[in-house]
């Protein structure tokens, strides 16, 4: 804000240049607005398919009457106690995973540095299983352990990886993840049948336990976390340029760490509600980026996450007759080939040629 | 042989090209040591960057020149001493405030995939934007000027990864220019560029210094280009400054062999009149005595 800077702002402008800059910027933001609009419509579509179709078809007029509080025998129960909560929780959890994953991938500049690959999701699972099997806890206390576990693993991985950034985080995180799988497997050998049942939910993401209280808890957490993400998200535009450039532009590393912490919390809130839905966090960001012409978009990532989780839950429920696959099995089946493709084509780290 | 930079009068002889008056210094180091882990790379350096001049730091590989530049840009915490910006310790100034005074172009910056030129250059405006004060007309004007100056206005819509190396480097410089700082630090801005593009980038920086009075500090590998474009040349070896001043005074045969461990001839650059270093290897010499006795131009 020195006098010299101000005087430069006041020099006679170059109208042609300013117009070109304005036009070029507005083309980018128009494309983004269109994409977000299209994704909202797509999410609405997937949501309605999940709620209305399936073994038990509900018409839209009936659905409106059910929402208005009318009791339609059979239909009201199925919609209000099973289909609608599943879909709503799917939207919330998917958005949390999509956002959290995208923040990680963008900040660490590596598509593989997603929380579900670097052990953050597994940290939540292991802590939850520990709480159930060893401490005999239930309910919200287990969720608290899951969140603490995710944060602990994230801090540990970040510390062990050092300042070098994305690639080391992936390597250390994959190691941490493998170790945590071993911990969980050991805990299972010690578990009673009853505890093992309860703990199993924490291993495969599933919306089976969707309930209105769980939705209220998740929505409450998101209401706190989303404004924080919005406040910090501006610094992502700088951190994705690399540490040195970002620092040169006045971005504080503390903001980056704060953003990563919020992303860990988002993912652990998702895990606490639906278990570690495999690869949901990993897939959403890159898909959203591809749709947005290669540019990062957190809003699009959240929407893609929701579409993925709700859509995969529907597929899991009806793809194989008489078998109700948990959503995590479907996303896992989708994510694994994508992971292989990323590694095979060398698109993991965002380096330009 | 080595000159104590603190008492070296040469820094004060630099006159501002724009105002014509002798200028002081806004960026300086005092007893600065920098390192990674326990390894000291920059060893108790005290120096002053002359305002309104082009300062070029040269030296052999691993002499600490890039580390010194990173230190000047507050990217490293000093082991001893400090970096002073306008007389205050740079680490005591809010990083965003520093970013409005001092711009940085790191070595080999990597653009995120899919980012367009106008978007990348626009990010240079970040230090001027507050949490509630978003993109405005002043930002648009600054970006347009930066694109204009670097000749990249017609690339505004293009995706950065798809540009040629020379174009990409000009776009990065445009980003640093959009920051509208009085000081600009660049770490080897010509790496990976062919010689034509090297000259193009250096000419651009020279113009910027000449027309806007921007203080430029850069690390360069190419000694002859450094000698041509520097007003103030800083030669480093083993983490210390062995000489600094006008290129004509700094570049001597003895000093080049001291700094680079290489025998050479120093002749006059037929184009610019600045010192031109001609390396003497073990082969190819038309006058074998040169190799045996060292240079005697």
Q: Do B101 and A2 touch (CB under 8 A)?
A: yes
A336 touches chain B (CB under 8 A): no
For residue B264 the two structure tokens come to 């050479």
Choose among B22, B27, B17, B18: nearest CA to B184: B27
Distance (Å) of CA A22 to CA A27, A28, B127: 9, 10, 20
Q: Do A24 and B100 touch (CB under 8 A)?
A: no
The DSSP letter of residue A234 is G
A58-89 residue pLDDT tens: 888 888 888 888 888 878 888 888 889 999 99
d(CA B286, CA B297): 13
User: What is the CATH number for A88?
Assistant: 1.10.3470.10
Tell me whether residue A329 is in a domain: yes
Instruction: List strand residue ranges (DSSP E) for chain A, in order.
Output: none
Tell me whether residue A28 is in a domain: no
Size of chain B, expressed as the number of residues it contains? 297
Report whether pLDDT(A129) > 50.
Answer: yes
A150-183 residue pLDDT tens: 999 999 998 888 766 668 888 899 999 999 999 9
Query: At A349, is the secondary structure helix, strand, or coil?
Result: strand
Arithmetic mean of pLDDT over chain B? 85
Query: At A110, is the secondary structure helix, strand, or coil?
Result: strand
Our CA-based measurement puts residue A9 at a distance from the nearest CA of chain B, in whole angstroms, of 6
Q: Which residues pair with B184 in a beta bridge?
A: B103, B216
Report whether pLDDT(A219) > 50.
Answer: yes
Parse chain B into domains and list their residue ranges. 1-101+184-197+205-252, 112-180
With beta carbons under 8 A apart, name residues in chain A contacting B110.
109, 241-242, 350-352
With beta carbons under 8 A apart, name residues in chain B contacting A28.
116, 118-119
Our CA-based measurement puts residue A220 at a distance from the nearest CA of chain B, in whole angstroms, of 25
Buried b (16+ CB within 10 A) or exposed e, B31-58: ebbbbeeeebbbbbbebbbbbbbbbbbb
Percent of chain A's residues with pLDDT above 70: 92
Report whether pLDDT(B15) > 80.
Answer: no
A321 touches chain B (CB under 8 A): no
For residue A270 the two structure tokens come to 């998702």
Q: Do B112 and A353 touch (CB under 8 A)?
A: no
d(CA A173, CA A115): 9
Show the CA angle centred on residue A44, arms to residues A38 and A48, nearest 5°: 145
With beta carbons under 8 A apart, name residues in chain A contacting B106.
242, 244-245, 248
Arithmetic mean of pLDDT over chain A? 85
Residue B276: count other Cβ atoms within 10 Å of its Cβ: 19
Which pLDDT belongs to residue B89?
A: 92
A20 touches chain B (CB under 8 A): yes
Reported confidence tier of residue B132, pLDDT bands at 50, 70, 90 = low
Contact B35, B78 (CB under 8 A): no
**Which residues lie closer than 8 Å to A118 by C-beta, 6 or more apart?**
A104, A112, A157, A169, A170, A172, A173, A174, A176, A177
Mutation test of the interface with chain A: which of B74, B112, B217, choosing the one with the most A Cβ atoms within 10 A? B112
Choose among B151, B165, B258, B255: nearest CA to B203: B151
Contact A332, A278 (CB under 8 A): yes
Which pLDDT belongs to residue A4?
A: 39
Tell me whether residue A26 is in a domain: no
Over residues B97-124, the mean pLDDT reads 90
Which pLDDT belongs to residue B287?
A: 64
Percent of chain B's residues with pLDDT above 70: 88
Report whether pLDDT(A3) > 50.
Answer: no
CATH 3.40.50.300 assigned to domain B1-101+184-197+205-252? The reply is: yes
A198-209 residue pLDDT tens: 788 788 888 888
Report whether pLDDT(A196) > 50.
Answer: yes
Mutation test of the interface with chain A: which of B119, B141, B183, B184, choosing the one with the most A Cβ atoms within 10 A? B141
How many domains would you assign to chain A? Answer: 1
Report whether pLDDT(A243) > 90.
Answer: no
B61-74 residue pLDDT tens: 889 999 999 999 99
Show the CA angle centred on residue B25, arms to residues B174 and B19, nearest 5°: 70
Which pLDDT belongs to residue A347?
A: 59
Q: In what order do the strands lie in the sheet with B80-85?
A: B39-50, B25-36, B80-85, B88-89
Which pLDDT belongs to residue B286?
A: 77
Our CA-based measurement puts residue A249 at a distance from the nearest CA of chain B, in whole angstroms, of 5
Report whether pLDDT(A256) > 90.
Answer: no
Reported confidence tier of residue B23, pLDDT bands at 50, 70, 90 = low
Q: Do A17 and B115 touch (CB under 8 A)?
A: no
The DSSP letter of residue A179 is H
Which pLDDT belongs to residue A107?
A: 86
Over residues B205-224, the mean pLDDT reads 92
For residue B140 the two structure tokens come to 């648009």
Reported confidence tier of residue B206, pLDDT bands at 50, 70, 90 = very high
Which pLDDT belongs to residue A228?
A: 92
When CB atoms are compared, the residue of A20, A241, A247 closest to B112 is A241
Cβ neighbourhood burial of B177 (10 Å; 0-12, 13-18, 19+): buried
Reported confidence tier of residue B6, pLDDT bands at 50, 70, 90 = very low
Cβ neighbourhood burial of A197 (10 Å; 0-12, 13-18, 19+): exposed
With beta carbons under 8 A apart, name residues in chain B contacting A350.
110, 112-113
Domain enclosing residue A234, as ranges: 34-345
Which pLDDT belongs to residue A79?
A: 84
A292 touches chain B (CB under 8 A): yes
Report whether pLDDT(B288) > 60.
Answer: no
Q: Which residues pair with B183 in a beta bridge?
A: B102, B215
Tell me whether residue A105 is in a domain: yes
A12-22 residue pLDDT tens: 444 578 888 88
Reported confidence tier of residue A311, pLDDT bands at 50, 70, 90 = very high
Which pLDDT belongs to residue A15?
A: 55
When CB atoms are compared, the residue of B99, B144, B176 closest to A250 is B99
The DSSP letter of residue A120 is H
Report whether pLDDT(A10) > 50.
Answer: no
Residue A83 has φ and ψ, to the nearest 5°, of: -70, -45
Report whether pLDDT(B83) > 80.
Answer: yes
Report whether pLDDT(B242) > 50.
Answer: yes
d(CA A276, CA A268): 9
Q: Do A242 and B144 touch (CB under 8 A)?
A: no
Which pLDDT belongs to residue A47?
A: 93
Contact B210, B130 (CB under 8 A): no
When CB atoms are compared, the residue of B104, B113, B181 closest to A350 is B113
Interface of A with B in 300-319 (CB under 8 A): none
Instruction: Please compute, for residue A33, the number of CA atoms within 13 A of its CA located in the half-sphere on the CB side.
Output: 6
Which pLDDT belongs to residue B165?
A: 85
Choose among B162, B151, B79: nearest CA to B115: B162
Reported confidence tier of residue B290, pLDDT bands at 50, 70, 90 = low
Tell me whether residue A350 is in a domain: no
Which pLDDT belongs to residue A95?
A: 96
ipTM above 0.95, yes or no: no
Helix (H) or strand (E) segment spanning residue A318: helix A298-318
DSSP chain B: ----TTT-THHHH-B-TTT-SB--EEEEEEEEEEEETTEEEEEEEEEEEETTSEEEEEESTTSSHHHHHHHHTT-S--SEEEEEETTEEGGGS-HHHHHTTEEEE-SS--PPTT-BHHHHHHHTTGGG--SS--S-HHHHHHHHHHHHHTT-GGGTTSBGGGS-HHHHHHHHHHHHHHT--SEEEEESTTTT--HHHHHHHHHHHHHHHHHH--EEEEE-S-HHHHHHH-SEEEEEETTEEEEEE-HHHH--HHHHHHHHS--EEEEE-TTT-SEEEEE--SS--SSHHHHHH----
Which pLDDT belongs to residue B246?
A: 93
For residue A243 the two structure tokens come to 């540490």
Reported confidence tier of residue A346, pLDDT bands at 50, 70, 90 = low
Tell me whether residue A213 is in a domain: yes
Instruction: Please compute, for residue B108, the number of CA atoms within 13 A of its CA located in the half-sphere on the CB side.
Output: 6
Tell me whether residue A10 is in a domain: no
Which pLDDT belongs to residue A140?
A: 83
């Amino acid at each position: 804000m020195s006098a010299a800077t101000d005087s430069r702002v006041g020099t006679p402008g170059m109208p042609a240049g300013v117009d070109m800059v304005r036009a070029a910027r507005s083309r980018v933001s128009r494309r983004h607005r269109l994409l977000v609009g299209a994704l909202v419509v797509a999410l609405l579509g997937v949501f309605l398919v999940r709620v209305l179709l399936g073994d038990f078809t509900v018409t839209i007029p009936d659905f409106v009457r059910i929402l208005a509080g009318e009791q339609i025998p059979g239909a009201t129960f199925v919609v209000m106690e099973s289909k609608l909560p599943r879909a709503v929780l799917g939207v919330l959890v998917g958005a949390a995973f999509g956002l959290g994953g995208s923040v990680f991938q963008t900040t660490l500049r590596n598509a593989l540095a997603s929380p579900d690959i670097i052990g953050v999701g597994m940290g939540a699972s292991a802590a939850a299983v520990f709480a159930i099997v060893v401490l005999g806890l239930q309910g919200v206390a287990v969720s608290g352990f899951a969140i603490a576990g995710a944060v602990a693993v994230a801090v540990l991985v970040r510390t062990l990886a050092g300042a070098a950034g994305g690639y080391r985080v992936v390597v250390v995180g994959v190691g941490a993840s493998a170790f945590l799988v071993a911990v969980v497997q050991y805990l299972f050998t010690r578990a009673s049948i009853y505890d093992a049942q309860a703990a199993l939910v924490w291993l495969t993401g599933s919306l089976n336990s969707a309930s209105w209280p769980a939705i209220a808890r998740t929505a409450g957490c998101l209401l706190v976390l989303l404004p924080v993400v919005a406040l910090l998200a501006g610094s992502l535009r700088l951190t994705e340029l690399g540490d040195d450039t970002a620092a040169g532009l006045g971005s504080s590393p503390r903001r980056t760490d704060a953003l990563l912490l919020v992303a860990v919390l988002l993912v652990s809130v998702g895990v606490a509600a639906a278990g570690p839905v495999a690869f949901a966090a990993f897939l959403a960001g890159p898909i959203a980026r591809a749709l947005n012409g290669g540019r990062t978009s957190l809003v699009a990532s959240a929407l893609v996450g929701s579409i993925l989780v709700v859509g995969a839950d529907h597929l899991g429920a009806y793809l194989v007759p008489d078998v109700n696959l948990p959503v995590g099995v479907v996303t896992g089946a989708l994510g694994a080939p994508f992971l292989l493709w990323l590694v095979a084509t060398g698109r993991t780290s965002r380096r330009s040629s | 042989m080595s000159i104590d930079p603190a008492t070296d009068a040469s820094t004060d002889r630099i006159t501002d090209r724009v105002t014509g008056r002798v200028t002081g210094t806004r960026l300086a180091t005092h007893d600065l040591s920098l390192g990674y882990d326990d390894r000291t790379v920059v060893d108790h350096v005290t120096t002053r960057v002359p305002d309104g001049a082009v300062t070029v730091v040269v030296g052999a590989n691993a002499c600490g020149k890039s580390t010194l530049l990173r230190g000047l840009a507050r990217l490293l915490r000093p082991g001893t001493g400090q970096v002073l910006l306008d007389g205050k310790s740079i680490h005591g100034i809010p990083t965003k405030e520093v970013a409005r005074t001092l711009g940085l172009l790191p070595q080999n910056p990597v653009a995120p995939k899919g980012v367009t030129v106008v978007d990348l250059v626009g990010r240079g405006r970040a230090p001027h934007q507050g949490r509630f004060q978003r993109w405005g007309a002043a930002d648009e004007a600054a970006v347009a000027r930066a694109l204009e100056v670097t000749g990249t206005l017609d690339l505004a819509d293009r995706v950065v990864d798809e540009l040629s190396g020379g174009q990409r480097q000009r776009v990065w410089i445009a980003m640093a220019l959009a920051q509208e700082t009085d000081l600009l630090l660049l770490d080897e801005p010509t790496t990976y560029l062919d010689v034509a593009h090297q000259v193009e980038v250096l000419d651009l920086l020279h113009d910027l210094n000449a027309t806007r009075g921007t203080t430029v500090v850069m690390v360069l590998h190419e000694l002859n280009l450094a000698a041509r474009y520097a007003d103030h040349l800083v030669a480093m070896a083993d983490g210390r400054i062995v000489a600094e001043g006008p290129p004509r005074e700094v570049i001597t045969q003895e000093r080049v062999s001291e700094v680079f461990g290489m025998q050479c001839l120093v002749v006059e650059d037929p184009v610019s009149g600045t010192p031109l270093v001609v390396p003497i290897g073990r082969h190819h010499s038309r006058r074998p005595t040169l190799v045996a006795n060292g240079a005697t131009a």
